[in-house]
Copies of this chain bind each other. A is one copy, B any other.
Amino acid sequence: VQPVTRHPAGERPAPDDVDETVEFWRRENPDLDVVTKEAAMRLRRAGHALEKSLRHELAALGVEAWELEMLLALRRASGCCSSAGGLMRDSGVTSGAITNRLDRLEERGLVRREPDPSDRRQIRVVLTDGGRARADRFLAAKSQAEQAFFAGVDRDLLARLAGDLRTLLAAHQSACPDG
């Protein structure tokens, strides 16, 4: 990957509303670390924009984010099995939320709860055939939506962004629901 210079020929990008907000706070407090503030705001906004965009695309197709997260997490648990605790840990929501989500998915016949023979405190959650088909169909839709979100962005820049975010994440082992 070739490094990409930020401002090819000394061009300065036009200030956007993040710049304006950072500048406001810097005027209020000259000690403010503007690079950190800018990075924090942009990271948060970009993450929100991505989530909002995916949520919108998927909702239009008739699936909600929490549902697809669950189905994909189960799909990835290759043997098609996982415990409620496992789902909790890699989705980042509480155990009560997992119970609630499983109730709704089970009602619709997308998953089944089965007793775990080796530890009867746990349950094993298995994807039904219908659940698996639904996961696969909407994974494709999600991937398309992600491509659309990044459509206007240069490939090299995108790769560099991914690499830099990897570095950032290495310092913050993070659970996050994703596919």
What is the predominant secondary structure among interface residues of chain A facing chain B?
A: helix
Shortest Cβ gap from A7 to chain B (Å): 8
In the complex, A29 Cα to B61 Cα: how many Å? Answer: 21
Shortest Cβ gap from A130 to chain B (Å): 18
In the complex, A49 Cα to B41 Cα: how many Å? Answer: 13
The stretch of A31-39, A79-87, A94-102, A108-116 in contact with B is: A31-39
Shortest Cβ gap from A142 to chain B (Å): 9
14 A-B residue contacts at CB 8 Å? A3-B4, A16-B166, A21-B76, A24-B76, A35-B158, A39-B162, A42-B162, A42-B165, A43-B46, A44-B176, A46-B47, A47-B47, A49-B176, A53-B172
